[in-house]
Amino acid sequence: MGDADAMVVLDALRGCVGAAQVLTAATDTAAYNEDWRRKYHGRALAVVCPGSTAEVAAVMRVATAHRVPVVAQGGNTGMSGGATPDASGRQIVLSTRRLNRIRHIDAANDTLVAEAGVVLQAVQEAARAAGRLFPLALAAQGSCTIGGNLATNAGGVAVLRYGSMRDLTLGVEVVTPDGRIWDGLRGLRKDNTGYDLKQLYIGSEGTLGIITAASLKLFPQPRATLTALMALPSLDDAVRLLAEARSAMGAGLTAFEVISAPCVPLLQRHFPALRWPFAEPHPVVVLVELSDPEDEAHARALLERLLGAELDAGRVLDGVVAESLQQTQALWALRECLSEAQALEGAHIKHDICVPASAMAAFVADAGQALQQAAPGARVAWFGHLGDGNLHFNVLAPPGQDAAAFVARQDEINRLVHDRVAACGGSISAEHGLGQLRRDENARYKSPVELALMHTLKAALDPLGLMAPGKVLQT
């Protein structure tokens, strides 16, 4: 795009949203041009901040008329580089930060309608104020948005009980690449009137259209929640404990998160104020959360009975049950600070894998061994959502080795891990999506038929290829 064309496009965009909402100065656009991990760096023609669905539609009509590619961005906390523009200077970032209204809460129908730019925590708080629960929860909840949660089909720490964003959504409002508005904001639990289009947009990572609002499911607030940390001799034991906890607690089991031993020194180094509760080093630690429809005494009796039996049998080595809200928060902080601790330790290679619970321990042993052979001393600091079979199987450089040189081996390391994931019927992206990070890896493991169907859908819904080109699919 030449300078003259760029000026025409920028003027047209200013006509849609007002001059103040079209950011072009480097100081204003810098934060939008880089992802949370600082792995991807782009250069947008402009960052455009529409304040309503109608303004999003107007922006998309300009983009279509001038063939300008568009990258949607919410809270910019994504882990796969999906929200970062490329370096061409031709793409615009469409920021949803001004689409920040909660439009409606229907407590009787257990639904809430939020615009795409509403921060997840604000939705949780609005639900709580209405005496209900919106259960999606993840460490970035103070800055990620509902639109980003939808576009990545976010998971988090309560999927075990409530499901991922797909399961929590009843309807969406979408602006198509050519600027039409689809109002699919239904609040229905049953609706078999043809293709379920909302599910196409959920998880599409900005490649099919802009999600502008969603109708979300609410749930009853649990009367009490109780959190425990348990140390175990092996991952095998943790998988077995998961089955035990499921039998003992049923739907009350709301989180079952795992932390491997190599994560602990990273926490201690980068978050020295957090207190690790075990004096001994243990191979595996799990965080268990129980939500109870009765009261705290009932929850405590259930959790302490499980922990007591496991300790007596020697299958759990040590354990602590939170006694107060402050202790609960302190235990959760140990889990929630892991991403940041790893980021502070330096660049590393992330894997967001899902494997069947039955294959989990063998996969970790086998992949760990292969990594030690390929990169002796590499720190395989895995953690994550064991209850969902989802591990963040992250690999850090051996101590003292240059992180950038290690990350340069990403393709080779990915192959070692992802070949093993594929061999046990797993997924190479459980919850973070493909973005630009895993696009080519996905093409390697998906069947040609499935990939061709994805390309067919993309071509049908975004015929000019303007939505997030180069993300998810090779274009």
Measured from the CB atom, the residue of 73 and 260 that comes closer to ligand FAD is: 73
Give the residue ranges of DSSP H helices in 80-119.
Answer: none
| Token pair 């607690």 in the structure block, residue | 249
Min CB(390)–ligand FAD separation in Å: 9
Q: Min. distance of Cβ 383 from ligand FAD in angstroms?
A: 10
Contacts of 443 (CB under 8 A, 6+ apart): 451, 474
State how far the Cα of 415 lies from the Cα of 367, in Å rounded to an integer. Answer: 10
169 binds, among ligand FAD, ligand 2HG, none (CB under 5 to 8 A by kind): none
Query: In the window 38-77, what residues touch ligand FAD (CB under 6 A)?
Result: 71-77
179 binds ligand FAD (CB under 6 A): no
Angstrom distance (rounded) from CA 386 to CA 259: 9
Q: C-beta of 392: minimal distance to ligand 2HG in Å?
A: 4
Pick from 145, 394, 429, 442 the residue near ligand 2HG by CB under 6 A.
394
Cα 42 from Cα 33, distance rounded (Å): 5
Instruction: List binders of ligand FAD among 80-119 (CB under 6 A).
Output: 82-83, 96, 116
Contact 426, 363 (CB under 8 A): yes
Task: Note whether 302 and 337 are within 8 A (CB).
Answer: no
Closer to ligand 2HG by CB, 198 or 348: give it: 348
Question: Could you say whether residue 469 binds ligand FAD (CB under 6 A)?
Answer: no
User: Do residues 70 and 91 make contact, with C-beta atoms less than 8 angstroms apart?
Assistant: yes
Examine residue 384 and tell whether it contacts ligand 2HG (CB under 6 A). yes
Q: Which two tokens stand for residue 258?
A: 């795992």
State yes or no: residue 169 binds ligand FAD (CB under 6 A).
no
Apex 253 CA angle, 248 and 255, nearest 5: 140
Instruction: For residue 148, state whether it binds ligand 2HG (rule: CB under 6 A).
Output: no
Question: Contacting ligand 2HG (CB under 6 A), which of 76, 141, 339, 436?
Answer: 339
Q: Is 152 in a helix, a strand, or coil?
A: coil
> CB 411: neighbour CB atoms within 10 A?
10
407 touching ligand 2HG, by CB under 6 A: no
Q: Is 342 within 8 Å of 394 (Cβ atoms)?
A: yes
Answer with the entry of ligand 2HG, ligand FAD, none that 184 interacts with (C-beta below 5 to 8 A by kind): none
Site for ligand FAD in 135-164 (CB under 6 A): 138-140, 144-145, 147-149, 151-152, 154-156
Cα 21 to Cα 300: distance, rounded to the nearest angstrom: 52
- Residue 95 partner contact from ligand FAD, ligand 2HG, none using kind-dependent CB cut-offs of 5 to 8 Å: none
Instruction: Please state the closest distance from residue 403 (CB atom) to ligand 2HG, in A.
Output: 15
Which residues form the interface with ligand 2HG (CB under 6 A)?
139, 338-339, 350, 384, 392, 394
